[in-house]
Amino acid sequence: MADSTISDTVFPTTPIVQLERCVLRPYHISDLEPMCKAANDPLIVKYMRDAFPYPYDTDAGMTWLKICKAEGLPVEEKADEAKPAAPDSSPPAPSPEMNVAICLLDGTFIGSTGLRAMGPDGTDRYTREIGYWIGRDHWGKGLATEVASGLGRWALSPASGILTKDGQPLRRIEAGVYAENAASSKVLERAGYVREGVRRQAVIKNGVMQDVVIYGLVASDLEK
């Protein structure tokens, strides 16, 4: 059987996407305060998965920055400093996740986006799920549309450097939107994603069963 585990998918170490009005860059410790301030908003939490904490306090923000291996994090004390670690020349383990900060061109932090591996066994390895949120101060300016369009197109292009272990670029970017999230549906439709169907009663959010609308952008969409 072919080796097809999703953990074999290679991401570039420092993905940066330059868009017209914003840039997607790796997290930095200095994002902590503006990120927590913007994310601690019930109108954002409402449309995110339950893994997105509320209240979004400093601890929650630090946890996220550690998961994302943000630049500038304080070096944590090693439990066993007496024993020097053996030198390790192997490259860092590739990650099937990519999480980046969304900033205006002047550096202002405005939100987060990312790509997430799907499926447990590698069968979905040519697909990534896109996620995003934008701080409320910046809503309604077309920025999420720019991000969904730009990140999706970048991820599907060989220029991104994102390759599966088969040496191929990704083929599909997918998004699942709670049916009542009209703003996000509009974002994806304007960004060129195709509404493909509805997973009826697929999730429970805040105690309410919700349909999830599935959107997809596939490489051949970009040739049209």
Ligand X SMILES: CC(C)(COP(=O)(O)OP(=O)(O)OC[C@H]1O[C@@H](n2cnc3c(N)ncnc32)[C@H](O)[C@@H]1OP(=O)(O)O)[C@@H](O)C(=O)NCCC(=O)NCCS
Q: Which residues bind ligand X (CB under 6 A)?
A: 44, 47-48, 132-134, 139-145, 175, 177, 181-184, 186-187
Q: Judged by CB, which is closer to ligand X: 19, or 62? A: 19
Residue 32 or 38 having the CB closest to ligand X = 38
Burial class of residue 162 in the structure, from the number of CB atoms within 10 Å of its CB (0-12 exposed, 13-18 middle, 19+ buried): buried
Phi, psi of 178, deg, nearest 5: -60, 135
Beta strand pairing call for 194-205 and 22-25: unpaired
Q: At closest approach, how far in Å is the CB of 189 from ligand X? A: 10
- What is the closest distance, in whole angstroms, from the C-beta atom of residue 138 to ligand X in the complex? 6
Contact 133, 112 (CB under 8 A): yes
- CA distances in angstroms from 152 to 2, 116, 130, listed in the order given: 28, 12, 8
- By beta-carbon proximity to ligand X, the closer residue of 25 and 164 is 25
Q: Which is nearer to ligand X, 183 or 209 (CB)?
A: 183
DSSP β-ladder status, 194-205 and 208-218: antiparallel
Q: Which is nearer to ligand X, 115 or 164 (CB)?
A: 115
The span from the CA of 20 to the CA of 23, in Å, is 8
Shortest Cβ 35–ligand X spacing (Å): 13
CA of 83: how far to CAs of 43, 65, 134, in Å? 48, 27, 44
- Tell me the closest approach of the beta carbon of residue 90 to ligand X, in angstroms: 36
Nearer to ligand X, 147 or 164 (CB): 147
β-partners of residue 128 are 117, 173
In whole angstroms, the minimum distance from the beta carbon of 99 to ligand X comes to 14
Residue 164, amino acid: T
Q: How far is the CB of 8 from ligand X (least distance, A)?
A: 27
